[in-house]
Structure 1
């Protein structure tokens, strides 16, 4: 009844609220002997950290991670890894005028009906700030995957109706939106500034690609790899849609167009997005997520309070114009968590199949 834990063998539980004392994660099931330092995690947190660019929340959080357990002499022990990120710049008082108001597009209404009470300080667990713990956990997963040559990267392919037409992964690492098209990047920046001036927000599309994934990851029927990827990505608060490979475009194709032919040299296409029958095919895994506009906007909105009275509000405070680009490393983290869990499950099956002796 918690919904705060992910995975079977590589299990991650996140904790903390947006304006509480801290956020963090406990990771159980990380193999021993993996090199891991706070700096390894910090580089991923830096990509998500707020207040670096115009149009992002000006909240000044250093997001410095502390490893409390599970690592000794620079290597994982195989015991639970506890990570904590202290909130340094919370301002819960900014939300007091809205503490009995249900903000449109937020989790205020649904949390109230589920629990009978809610943390109104920025949304508590429903805040995008909760994802800092996922990114920290995903950084640990990244280190595990690296031992098998698996890499995960995400890119902004659309923002505010502007689509990337070119594909240059190196360019995506040079700009703050992680956009692979330099011309689209400039137009996206202008669209963000326009929305900021108007007190509005923007949505977009993020594409996640995983390379080096061996065939065989995933389980039949209920634990399909693509199903778990979709679940993990939909578990990000701002995500409202997920597609794998050709996705919805597959509905407009014929079988002869959508099938990925096989040759002795490999597949000739990748409409399946690297997953066949719920199990990885060995091809690049490709997912895309639809990211909704940030619901906290300065424009007037109609709502009600907890007494059922009509209210008109404008939401002030410190907010992003778009969840992009800060959601990009969150998407990477969730895909890494899924792949790490399935990798460990497959390694356990392989050991049983080959009857490798225990030490």
Structure 2
């Protein structure tokens, strides 16, 4: 029983009722002009219900009407301060103007449905309330002119009948409100084009978040790995001079990481800074210096004009190299590293090799978000990347097209 009465305590039940009554207002204005509402016949009632339909269809041709109806439906048909359902989900009502004839037709059907449902609600409400007053003897209209369609019950049955009629009125309000909300979702909901646009926007947001996550992982992860390796080496060496060099390397790596973090935060703040502010392969020397400062012996061989590599390829190549060196320091420590970078007219080839520590002899290279990120970056650029053991060494091999 409390569950049945709960809708009567919700404000949205009565805002839906009001929404229905407002929707029928045009019919009563037109009916007051012609044929009049003083003593209408059945034919007159038919005119009242059908006269405003052409006006509703004509109004639906205006694109802004769909937006106005969507905003009104959000505010009055669904609970919550932001016109959402109680669980916080969007009600599925579009607030965009009509962008196609399909949208205009759906809006016209909605306006006509709201008009006729509102008129039916007014007539049924009038009949129920009139019967309650007539049954209780509160009406002084004679039975032949009171406009009631059903006979009035008097005597001892009048009171329970009046209670039932009041409950029927509330049940009708709840049922019609729910029907109107369901119709609004179907007729004022997003069109396929709007759904596709929203899906594309959501996809772009997820891709941007994924890119930012990779940026932070590569940059901050590299800095923390270098700091950990340097701190461990300084503690093991117990040499003040070596400790000074280690702290200097940590300082330089931390400063570079802060610069990268500031670049990522600029993207989040959308302050219009160009994406080209991100480091490229032309700035790879600082990665090599950081690795060397951590104790790794890096042998570098570069062939071809690295500075002519297109910006997107060069920036992603920098991040791949950063992750490859970070992976070496994290899993193998300060071991010799061979780096080969070759650039020709059609592609960039980057190969990073290092000795495998004994405990890593069985590693397959399939795990780890960093190595997976390298492969994902290469795939997005139309290239390929392989990571894993090769001839008793760990290899990261990347090939990226320049066009």
Q: TM-score normalised to the size of structure 2?
A: 0.20
- Structure with bigger strand share is 1
Q: Using CA pairs under 8 Å that are at least 6 residues apart, name the structure with larger relative contact order, 1 or 2.
A: 1
- Structure with bigger helix share is 2
